[in-house]
């Protein structure tokens, strides 16, 4: 078995990795009649590098996730976990649907719960 590794050719030693504190966000996803959307996949995307996170709603439509940083996020939704093909980086799809919902503004510290209302299929 091989052991150890080099990072970018630097000699072995202490590896220090700095992580920022993620921003927690929670809420629920509902249909236009206010009924919970169970097992919906939510894709949170910002224009910042690495600004992406996912969440899956539970049986009552509730979700929580940790976003990498404060900022503005577009939220994309797939009906269920098996329907995520359009969410995984298809730039054309993301651009076509960027205006489908208002931008979610997330701040450092505590954010109030949000309710995401799906407008269509």
Residue 97 domain boundaries: 23-114
pLDDT of residue 72 exceeding 70: yes
Q: What pLDDT band is residue 10 in, cutting at 50, 70 and 90?
A: low
Kindly report the number of other CB atoms within 10 A of residue 96's CB atom. Answer: 11
Phi, psi of 13, deg, nearest 5: 170, -160
Name the nearest CA neighbour of 88 among 54, 39, 49.
54
Q: What's 39's domain CATH number?
A: 2.60.40
Residue 58 belongs to some domain of the structure: yes
Q: What is the mean pLDDT of the chain?
A: 81
pLDDT digits (tens, 9 = 90+) for 26-64: 999 999 999 999 999 999 999 888 888 999 999 999 999
Greater confidence (49 vs 3) lies with: 49
Residue 12 lies in a domain: no
16 forms beta bridges with none
| pTM for this entry | 0.73
Q: Is 65 helix (H, G, I), strand (E, B) or coil?
A: strand
d(CA 26, CA 3): 40
Number of independent structural domains in the chain: 1
């Amino acid at each position: 078995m091989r052991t150890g590794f080099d990072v970018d050719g630097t000699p072995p030693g202490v590896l220090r990795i700095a992580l920022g504190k993620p921003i927690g966000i929670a809420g629920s996803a509902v249909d236009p009649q206010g009924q919970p959307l169970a097992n919906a996949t939510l894709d949170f995307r910002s224009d910042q590098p690495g600004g992406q996170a996912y969440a899956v709603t539970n049986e009552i439509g509730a979700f929580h996730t940790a976003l990498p940083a404060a900022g503005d996020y577009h939220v994309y939704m797939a009906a269920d976990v098996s329907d995520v093909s359009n969410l995984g980086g298809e730039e054309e799809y993301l651009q076509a649907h960027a205006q489908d919902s208002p931008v979610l503004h997330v701040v450092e510290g505590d954010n109030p719960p949000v309710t995401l209302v799906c407008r269509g299929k």
